[in-house]
Structure 1
Amino acid sequence: MDPVKLQRALDEVFDHALLRHGFVDYMRDYQLVIHMTADPRTGVAPATLRYLFRYCVQARCATTVAADIWRDSLDDRLTSYQTGVDLDGYVWGVNWQRLYPGATLIADSPTARDWSAAIGIDFHEVRIKTNAHDLTLVFSDLQIEELLPAPRGSERQPLS
């Protein structure tokens, strides 16, 4: 994948809502599910996209929430917006994270270079920071697709 196109795709999700992330069911590829919105005056419709990082050989996730905030955020009521909104602490139950400061392609990554040499295809390393997590992914390709909303009255379907 062309690094310029990859960085452009990463730039497009800056400051949008990360709904969930993790390996897909078959455990090879890693996904970010992102809800993108714009000021209604722009006429740009909201969309939910899946960023699928294919052939993901490394996925690291660390918290960006400070230890003192964690200490104040252990109450299980904070895992639901309805029960946690009026409590002190980080309300985990908002069920999304702001993609800020965003995603960056790591230029000349030694890890990506080593995997490229070992497997024989290009690999890339990206760092994705949100207000709650710091992700580092090493992968070969990125596929982006729009996820259609579930039909009214139906339960949300698995993504993979």
Structure 2
Amino acid sequence: MNADEIEQALDDLFDQALVYHGYTDYMRDYEMVVQGSADPAAGQGYRRYLFRHCPKVSVTSSVGTDVWARSLDESLVHQQTPQSNDVYAWGMRRQALYPGAGRAETSRETKRWSSRLGVSFYEVRLEGNGHELHLLFSDLTVTDLEAGYTPFVVPEAQS
């Protein structure tokens, strides 16, 4: 994608639901799986945002320490709806990407990577109600996902 297409794809993340994020099994690219709406009742499809050639990712919880302190109970891992607004229901299995993604920025670090590898690099910050992510990447691919997509499968033991 060119820079304008990356910007449009990042704009499209606004208020979608992040359901999974992590490095791919080959550990070069970083993927995010999003549902088309932060409202699970909307039933919109899933898309994979693959941040290609991603040498740096920083993930920080955006849940406040006061809420964390009230959200340590293991039962919250299984709760899809919080009993109150004072806790975080980890069992929701999704987080709203609000306000979503910032602009793809250039920085001293992106310029350094670009000059060393000969391709453009970008830096972006994504905010959700569960995590804040900072990514350094060179390209972005967005694809629709079919039911059953699994980012990692434990292989059979080899004999």
Q: Is this contact kept in 2: 1:38–1:46, CA < 8 A?
A: no
Aligned length: 149
Secondary structure of the equivalent of 1:108? coil
Distance 2:68 2:145 in 1: 32
Distance 2:38 2:71 in 1: 31
1:6, distance to aligned residue in structure 2 (A): 0.7
Indicate the larger mover: 139-148 or 29-38: 29-38
Aligned equivalent of 2:21: 21
1:38, distance to aligned residue in structure 2 (A): 9.6
Runs of at least 5 residues in structure 1 that lack an aligned partner in the other structure: 151-156
Write the mapping of 1:61-140 to structure 2, written as runs, cut at 5 A: 61-81=59-79, 85-86=82-83, 89-140=87-138
Which letter does structure 2 place at the counterpart of 1:30?
Y
Which letter does structure 2 place at the counterpart of 1:12?
D
1:45, distance to aligned residue in structure 2 (A): 7.8
Distance 1:13 1:106 in 2: 13
Q: Is this contact kept in 2: 1:56–1:138, CA < 8 A?
A: yes
Aligned equivalent of 1:159: 151
Distance 1:31 1:105 in 2: 18
Which letter does structure 2 place at the counterpart of 1:10?
L
1:127, distance to aligned residue in structure 2 (A): 0.6
Distance 1:65 1:107 in 2: 25
Distance 2:108 2:22 in 1: 23
TM-score (norm 1): 0.85
Runs (4+) off by over 6 Å? none
Aligned equivalent of 1:154: none
TM-score (norm 2): 0.85
Distance 1:148 1:108 in 2: 34
Which letter does structure 2 place at the counterpart of 1:86?
Q
1:108, distance to aligned residue in structure 2 (A): 2.7
Distance 1:30 1:62 in 2: 15
Distance 1:108 1:159 in 2: 29
- Identity percentage over the alignment? 40
Aligned-CA RMSD value? 2.2
